[in-house]
């Protein structure tokens, strides 16, 4: 077993461990942190496949942004752990059955036939100066320009819809207008009143 294989098995083991901890650990914050660890291990595995752009983007987007917001919400939740575990025994047989079926199906698909591992020989090693990022960008903006732009547009619509659904303008909340604040002159706010000194009576 050479170093590459060793590294793969290490990261794969960490990934599986972290993923199983996500669903078994009791504290939701710790579960979210284990999910972060799982993303990291997945990024390391992708890095071994020479997919450095996808790998770093996974860390950037999921670890750097999505999970931060996730933690943000989870930390403020007041979750009743006892109620969460209610009905665990009821669902266990069905869930276990589904899991076993999934593993079996995967084993059958990967084990033989057109999707077998022998159908996918190891790709030729790329030269050291090969830039995955450059290649991806070139393909994305020429060959797949329309699908890419359509996906971008759908995401934009989703953002607008999310904002439109959650935004509520309350009549009684007060806003400041920074432009007006800057434009204000002394004369608008202060009124000088001349008063003659009063005489002592």
| Helix or strand run (H / E) with residue 66 | none
Is residue 42 within 8 A of residue 15, CB to CB? The reply is yes
For tokens 């434009």, the residue is 183
Which region among 56-64, 117-125, 166-174, 184-192 touches other proteins (by CB under 8 A)?
56-64
Give the residue with the Cβ less far from other proteins, 181 or 185. 181
**How many residues form the binding site for other proteins (CB under 8 A)?**
24
Interactions with other proteins, residue window 75-104 (CB under 8 A): 75-76
Which residue in the set 49, 60, 145, 158 belongs to the binding site for other proteins (CB under 8 A)? Answer: 60
37 binds other proteins (CB under 8 A): no
Which positions ≥6 away from 3 have C-beta within 8 Å?
none
68 binds other proteins (CB under 8 A): yes
114 binds other proteins (CB under 8 A): no
148 binds other proteins (CB under 8 A): no
Report how far residue 11's alpha carbon sits from residue 153's, in angstroms, rounded to the nearest whole number: 36
Report residue 191 as tokens: 């009124």
Give the residue with the Cβ less far from other proteins, 115 or 141. 141
Which positions ≥6 away from 43 have C-beta within 8 Å?
55, 56, 58, 59, 63
Which positions ≥6 away from 33 have C-beta within 8 Å?
71
Which residue in the set 8, 19, 57, 148 belongs to the binding site for other proteins (CB under 8 A)? Answer: 57
Which positions ≥6 away from 38 have C-beta within 8 Å?
15, 18, 19, 22
Report residue 144 as tokens: 């797949």
Which region among 50-58, 110-118, 142-150, 156-164 touches other proteins (by CB under 8 A)?
50-58
Q: How far is the CB of 31 from other proteins (least distance, A)?
A: 13
Binding site for other proteins (CB under 8 A): 29, 33, 36, 52-53, 56-57, 59-60, 63-65, 68-69, 71-72, 75-76, 129, 131-134, 178
């Amino acid at each position: 077993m050479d170093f590459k294989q060793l590294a793969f098995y290490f990261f794969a083991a960490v990934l599986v461990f972290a993923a199983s901890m996500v669903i078994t650990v009791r504290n939701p914050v710790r579960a979210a942190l284990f999910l972060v660890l799982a993303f990291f291990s997945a990024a390391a595995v992708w890095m071994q496949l020479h997919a450095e752009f996808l790998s770093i983007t996974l860390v950037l987007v999921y670890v750097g942004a999505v999970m931060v917001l996730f933690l943000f919400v989870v930390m403020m939740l007041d979750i009743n752990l006892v109620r969460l575990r209610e009905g665990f025994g009821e669902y266990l047989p069905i869930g276990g059955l589904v899991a076993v079926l999934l593993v079996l199906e995967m084993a059958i698909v990967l084990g033989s036939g057109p999707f077998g591992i022998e159908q996918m020989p190891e790709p030729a090693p790329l030269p050291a100066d090969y830039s995955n990022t450059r290649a991806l960008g070139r393909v994305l903006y020429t060959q797949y320009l329309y699908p890419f732009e359509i996906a971008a547009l759908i995401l934009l619509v989703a953002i607008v819809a999310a904002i439109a659904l959650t935004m509520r303008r309350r009549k009684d909340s007060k806003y400041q207008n920074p432009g007006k604040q800057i434009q204000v002159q002394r004369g608008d706010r202060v009124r000088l009143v001349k008063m003659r000194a009063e005489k002592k009576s």
